[in-house]
């Protein structure tokens, strides 16, 4: 039978590989720290107020050139009670230093949150948890279109809950409430260079008299609307895509080499080998730079595809860690059987399926209605935060359980070594000692990689939650965190490549029960009945005497 590369590779070659991988890992961190900008950035727009004498009948687009500007809403007297003649307008992006900026496909996604400025008033009182209803139109134009030739991208009614607070000493006319940010829109790709947003806040006076809790009846005195738009930095996208582009052929080639080594054996692949193969395949899918397509084609579902690929990789990675530790822990009657892990894997599969449903609902609806958000309502926000909280708790518990299993494996190694190892010949003792040290290194690397992967996942989820909150402008994803994400991404690739290389069947063969097999003339004994390719699992096999 074949031994694994990890048990047959010389110490000098193994040390050289580790040094190279360490240098590559440092390079990933340096790329993010030196060359990559922050993952996301924002633009803030104070929406201008325009007077529409037609009250929306003409379906006209309002922008700065045709706007009858309303300087101060408190000085404006509407001609009707429905307030539909007031239009809040924002053109994105705004001009800077007299130059008209434009959005690029490199931005990958666009997220908009709305800040409502509410003034304290004795006549128009704000009531807590006030329902807010907005009539929103989103238009776009291309570089070839005329300056004011806007095409409709989406038009819908948006319902949100307005959460504001004010201190007792600030309850004076003209003072402002402190209001939470409201989700407005999210695009999974940046398809057009220019966007135009028109917002109306209609009030149904008859509905207010019948039910004071009707939309816009308790929102108080609104003075301004401010739009904060957040997008992925083009420079970060460029670095990220080039890393994935360079890693894809390397991972694919190593995966193919590992698959050939496995299928050249005169036996069926083992569970651990299948798990490594599945992990490598999921990494190849994650690394494939499909985002290049969005630079030339309109791909609104790209954000959903990215979430699905990442979810697949995390699911297989977490499952692999359990199998990797468990295959060196359980006895021969249950080893190499996926059903032995059904209880542990069921938690991972259930959590992944729940997050998949959540993501399909959130991202799926946004494909045709970018103004939909699960964060829009109080119930939806609670569910979203609850999902993130449960996910964080589950990942911490998972990491603790994984750490427990690895410690148990190390305890088993120490007990076995004390009981059996030094009863063997000097050559076999040195051989197995070397395998043990190498396995311990991989276990330590597994702990380190799992810690950084789980931390990166949690921080990404936390950062996305910040984008939907008052911390959107100063959140984690808009800070200088590129080095952490590029370093973690590189670590995951290095870890999987190391597993593919170290656990592939070696080209050296066992031909007898006690034949010398390696260049160091170390002796290793095979009992003729064991089915594992790893010498360490042979060593950990429980006594049957």
Beta bridge partners of 232: 40
**Structure tokens that stand for 522 in this block:** 């170390």
**Strand runs (DSSP E) across 180-273, as ranges?**
182-187, 194-200, 221-232
302 within 8 A of 192, measured Cβ to Cβ: no
Omega cis (within 30) before 93: yes
Separation of alpha carbons 79 and 84, rounded Å: 10
Q: Give the 3-state secondary structure of 375-436.
A: CCCHHHHHHHHHHHHHHHHHHHHHHHHHHHHHHHHHHHHHHHHHHCHHHCCHHHHHHHHHHH
CB count, 10 Å around CB of 490?
21
Question: What fold, for 2-39+235-540?
Answer: Rhopdopsin 7-helix transmembrane proteins (1.20.1070)
Position 337 scores a pLDDT of 75
Q: Is 493 helix (H, G, I), strand (E, B) or coil?
A: helix
CB count, 10 Å around CB of 314?
21
Q: What angle do CA 438, 9, 498 make, to 5 degrees?
A: 60
Q: Is 216 helix (H, G, I), strand (E, B) or coil?
A: coil
Separation of alpha carbons 235 and 520, rounded Å: 50
Separation of alpha carbons 181 and 198, rounded Å: 18
Separation of alpha carbons 124 and 218, rounded Å: 8
**Tens digit of pLDDT at every position of the chain (545 positions):** 345 666 666 777 777 877 888 888 889 988 988 888 888 888 889 999 999 888 878 888 998 888 888 888 877 877 777 788 899 999 998 877 777 888 988 888 888 889 999 988 888 888 888 888 999 999 999 888 888 889 999 888 888 888 898 888 888 887 889 888 888 888 888 889 999 999 999 888 778 888 888 888 888 888 899 999 988 888 899 999 999 999 999 999 999 999 988 888 877 888 888 999 999 999 999 999 998 988 888 888 888 888 889 889 888 988 888 888 777 654 445 567 777 777 777 778 777 777 777 777 778 888 888 888 776 666 666 777 777 676 667 767 777 777 777 777 777 767 766 555 555 555 555 555 656 666 666 666 666 766 676 666 666 656 555 555 555 555 544 445 788 888 888 888 988 888 888 888 766 543 333 333 333 333 333 444 344 444 454 444 444 44
**Structure tokens that stand for 188 in this block:** 């999974």
**Structure tokens that stand for 527 in this block:** 């009992």
Separation of alpha carbons 251 and 253, rounded Å: 6
Domain layout of the chain by residue ranges:
2-39+235-540, 43-232
């Amino acid at each position: 039978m074949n031994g694994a590369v990890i048990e047959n590779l010389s110490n000098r070659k193994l040390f050289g590989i580790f040094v190279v991988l360490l240098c590559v890992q440092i390079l990933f961190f340096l790329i993010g720290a030196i060359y990559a900008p922050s993952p996301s950035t924002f633009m803030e727009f104070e929406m201008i107020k325009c007077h529409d004498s037609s009250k929306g009948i003409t379906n006209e687009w309002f922008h700065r050139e045709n706007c009858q500007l309303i300087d101060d809403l408190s000085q404006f007297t509407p001609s009707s009670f429905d307030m539909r003649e007031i239009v809040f307008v924002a053109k994105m992006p705004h001009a800077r230093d007299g130059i008209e900026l434009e959005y690029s496909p490199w931005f990958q996604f666009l997220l908009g949150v709305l800040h409502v400025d509410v003034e304290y008033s004795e006549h128009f009182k704000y009531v807590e948890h006030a329902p807010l209803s907005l009539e929103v139109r989103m238009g776009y134009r291309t570089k070839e279109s005329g300056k004011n030739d806007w095409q409709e991208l989406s038009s819908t009614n948006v319902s949100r809950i307005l959460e504001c607070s004010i201190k007792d000493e600030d309850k004076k006319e003209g003072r402002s409430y402190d209001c939470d940010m409201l989700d407005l829109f999210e695009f999974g790709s940046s398809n057009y260079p220019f966007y135009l947003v028109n917002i109306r806040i209609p009030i149904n006076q008859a509905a207010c008299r019948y039910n004071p809790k009707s939309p816009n009846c308790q929102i108080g005195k609104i003075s301004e609307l401010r739009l904060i738009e957040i997008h992925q930095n083009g420079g970060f996208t460029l670095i990220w895509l080039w890393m994935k582009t360079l890693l894809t052929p390397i991972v694919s080639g190593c995966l193919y080499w590992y698959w050939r080594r496995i299928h050249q054996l005169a036996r069926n692949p083992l569970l651990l080998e299948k798990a490594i193969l599945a992990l490598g395949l999921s990494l190849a899918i994650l690394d494939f730079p499909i985002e290049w397509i969005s630079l030339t084609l309109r791909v609104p579902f790209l954000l959903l595809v990215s979430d699905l690929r990442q979810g697949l990789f995390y699911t297989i990675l977490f499952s692999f860690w359990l199998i990797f530790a468990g295959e060196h822990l359980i006895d021969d009657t249950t080893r190499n059987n996926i059903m032995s892990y059904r209880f542990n894997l069921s938690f991972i599969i259930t959590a992944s399926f729940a997050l998949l449903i959540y993501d399909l609902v959130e991202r799926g609806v946004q494909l045709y209605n970018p103004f939909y958000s699960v964060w829009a309502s109080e119930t939806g926000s609670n569910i979203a935060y609850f999902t993130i909280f449960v996910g964080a708790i589950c990942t911490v518990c998972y990491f603790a359980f994984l750490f427990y299993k690895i410690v148990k494996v190390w305890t088993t190694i120490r007990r076995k070594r004390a009981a059996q190892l030094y009863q063997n010949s000097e050559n076999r003792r040195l051989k197995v000692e070397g395998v043990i040290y190498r396995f311990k290194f991989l276990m330590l690397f597994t702990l380190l990689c799992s810690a950084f992967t789980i931390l990166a996942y949690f921080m990404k989820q936390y950062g996305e939650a910040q984008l939907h909150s008052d911390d959107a402008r100063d959140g984690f994803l808009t800070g200088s965190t590129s080095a952490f994400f590029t370093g973690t991404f590189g670590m995951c690739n290095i870890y999987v490549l190391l597993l593919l290389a170290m656990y592939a069947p070696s080209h050296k063969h066992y031909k007898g029960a006690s034949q010398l097999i390696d260049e160091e003339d170390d002796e290793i004994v095979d009992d003729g009945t064991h089915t594992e390719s790893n010498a360490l699992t042979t060593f950990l096999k429980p006594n049957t005497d």
